[in-house]
Structure 1
Amino acid sequence: MITRFIFTLFISLLFFICMGFIMKQFKFYRSLFYSIAFLLIFSIFFYFASHFLSLGSFIITPINSVVSKVDKVINVPFSYVSSLSSDLKDLFTTYSENEVLKSKIYDLENQEEKLNMLEEENDALKAEIATSSTFKDSVSLIGEVIVRSPFSWYDSLVVGLGTDHGVKDGMLVLNGGGLIGKVSSSSKSSSHVELLTDGNNFDIPVKISLENSVVYGLLSAYDSDSKEFIVTDLNVSKDIVVDSVVSTSGLDGISASNVLVGKVSRIEDGEDRKLFITPAASFEAISFVTIVGD
């Protein structure tokens, strides 16, 4: 089709050239000739323009298809990276939220631990108040333990009460209603307490309450193996039964009377009769104490 059109165009141009040469002498026909030639050239341009546009569409269509496929292939890693970026963002957001939650849980656990400690201290303080109220005829002071070294846990401790509060050397120290030691020295604002579990000889006068009588003796030592007090120097050889209550007698004129020591757990007969006493107090955790004396 294109070849035929070119051939026709060539013949037409040749014809008009010849006519232009022949009519060179005639001005009117020359103007007419140029007008027809312009229209012919415009028609030729329009034809080729429309033809090549159609041809361009024919070429561009497959190119667009290929480009589209290439774009899809190229878009795959970018889509993956975009998705990965979104996942990482969600991951970091989740991590941050978890860290905040962990911090809140940690704070709640600390608050719960502090609350439990406060409740335990409150219970211990209530117990000492109850103990102190039983010594109406004696001096009784409630103090907080301010020093208790792990290296001397069962030997001694320091209470935040001193001579300015009425503490004197030799006064008995209780915890939870049971005897745990006595004041060995004191300053204006604190007192050093020697615990009965250090194994020293205290020679604190005690009494063993029987059904119809009372036996007196001395609280003289502590057996660290059996974790029992030892009472010696009994004044009589009466039969003493297990679970008899042992308390202080105050016969030395220094220590307070009727301070609970414990109960008789076993009896060792012999030339020097001994009573083994299960302590009424616990020596594990001591936060508050009651100091009593006459």
Structure 2
Amino acid sequence: MVETTSAAGTEYTATTRAPVQSRLTQNAPLAPLVWFKSGGPAEWLLEPATVDDLAKFLANLDPAVPVMPLGLGSNLIVRDGGVPGVVVRLGKPFAKVEVIDTTTLRCGGGASGILVSSTARDAGIAGVEFLRSIPGTVGGFVRMNGGAYGRETADILIECDVVLRSGELVTLPAADLHYSYRHSELPDGAIVVSATFRGQPGDPAAIQEEMDRIAASREASQPLRSKTGGSTFKNPPGHKAWALVDEAGCRGLRRGDAQVSEKHTNFLLNLGQATSADIEALGEDVRRRVKEKSGVTLEWEIQRVGVAS
């Protein structure tokens, strides 16, 4: 598929020999890059230096090769057999946030929720404080309609710039993503390289107060210092996932070193040496018990990718 001269040098596709000025690593470990600290390697890990590099790389890549974007790895189970094809990780070149006007931000696809919300605060832009609570990047927020504390990405997104699997760079208005709860119709293999968010004018002190409230609420209710993947299951209509899990007697349930958090039952934990298979199987145990107890079928919110070992 791809030949590489070195992890940091000029890379070449085997079919076109087109140069790609990006970091390309074969058989790259992904466990250190995801919050669960488990799972197998990427067949190839691409860390592009520019949007143009990313576009050229995808344009010259065999269309049959799968491509998967990776942000902070906070809402992800990478299966133990690893991820075939190319994993694209947007690093520092894509982590910038620019203030456009008194209500608008242009954010790189690799920018964290903390950076976006803090930049908005400094500029007196309210309405994006909720991103402070989501441990992910802009690309993931856009793809999954990330949300918390009564707000979601659909409320603030104007448009996003996306490199399609074909290598074409396009701008998609929010309406084209057809957002629903934790879901968008972003094309498969597309990489969000930037997004434009709009809030409303606000007082920086009041914005900081709201961010502090959100941070304190998360600290009190979620296992933030554990190896976890964030919210495991979507909230079914009319229900809270954590309450259904608790009612089914799953608080503290274990499979090997994988455990349902005792602090927040919609979080799974890696207590030490859990494999991704342990974590996923524990999640399926929880789904089965909840179905038996309440008749509700929980849907995974955590993304599960790759192949089993």
Instruction: Give the TM-score, by structure 1 length.
Output: 0.22
Instruction: Give the TM-score, by structure 2 length.
Output: 0.21
Which is higher, the Rg of structure 1 or of structure 2? 1
